[in-house]
Chains A and B, each alone.
Chain A
Amino acid sequence: MSAISAKRKRAIALLSLTSIIFITLDLQGSASTSVLRGTFGVFFRPIEGVARVITRPVSNAWYGITHYNAVTQENDLLREKIAQQEGAAVAAAASVRLSQELLALNGLPTLAGINSVSAQVIGDSPSNFSQNVEINQGSDSGVKVGMPVMNAAGLVGKITKVFPRRSIVMLITDPEYALSVKVINNPEAASPIIDPEASVPPSSTSTTTTTIPQPQPTSNIPGFTPGTTTLPLTTINVPVSIPSLTPTLTVPNNGALPIRETGILEGRGPSRVPIVRFIDSAQRFGTILPGAPIVTSGGSLSLAPPDIVVGTVSKVTDRLGTSGPILEINLVADLANLSFVRILLYQPITEQVKP
């Protein structure tokens, strides 16, 4: 009996030591742990596949019982939203195209210039303490560690582990995730900048009345009523300047343009929304209001290219001194219901493995 006990104690010591060595190797980024995981996956995937087939009816029944009301409500809401957004999408697509053309004309990087791979989400992390999903594209499709992942709404996360035909995506809400972002703040009351030297007083000024007629609905998109987005019949007084014959210099009104400040977005787990810290409390930036959009900042050391939509500010917590406010973020991507994602084939410099 004591011999068996000694044997078991040796086994316990050996297994514990193996675990500690594996932890050390994995934290050092050793490839051996990935090889072990990959080898185990080869044997385990068929078992998982069979289990998935067997348990699918039970999973579906569970979803049916627990989510029926939510799904019907969501369907109604989505139908209404689709009708509203179909029209807006046409206008937005035109604006995006114009913006991309302008950026390309000036030699600035755009998302349109980055290739991407579409993937399906095939599983969540089977743990209560990690925020990862598994997708069905891997190194065979050109996916590499560090590449940003987004869905139709916005940024979702980044690739953390790559296998030949699958990858692991760390979601934005994981406490390990941090990303440089921009907050685009619209100044509340932008005062025009007057340059007394540059501006030439107009020779004469008069006031005229302009009537903007209500546009007729012209959309032929089914389910879209453009009446909700058209301007009402308005009468406004516009001061019209009649320039003199002397040359004039136009100074752009910077105060009316959106102002951008950078900060760091940090995930805080599934039960708490991500936050943005280290925003400068510059006077020009003004007060950040809920609803201000958050986009990726880009840059040579950033994890993602610029201007990927991340979310909007939901709450602003001011702090004393120069530490700047903390912003709570409503993510635009619904991370609880991910089905399809897009991997941008953009590997940040910081994630590239040196030969």
Chain B
Amino acid sequence: MSETNSPTDLRYSTDHEWVRIEEGADGPVLRIGITDYAQDALGDVVFVELPAVGSTITSGDSVGEVESTKSVSDIYAPVTGRVVEVNEALADEPSAINSDPYGGGWLCVVADFDPTAVEALMDAAAYTSLIAE
């Protein structure tokens, strides 16, 4: 396994997703993606099935899929909330998940989430320990 990167300004789920709280037009929103570790393990991503804009996602439920040259993996909602935006650019360029997992490879943006649920996720140090196991 090559060296992978887990930025300190993000929170992480045990399902290898990252979240970042951002300021939306109508209050805080949560941007969600998969981690560098996850994309490295999956290999080349060739297709992403994203949740529908407007849909409600429930923490722990499968809300989409990442298809790589190796396998298909579920995307699990790290928190409960409402999807307000998905990364349409991934349709034409799914490889952004590999090349820029914390930037252009983001998956979706969620509103109406519980900030304490975000606090309950791992910080970078805890996630780094998890993937070192």
Q: Do A and B bind each other?
A: no
Q: Which residues of B contact A (CB under 8 A)?
A: none
Q: Which residues of A contact B (CB under 8 A)?
A: none
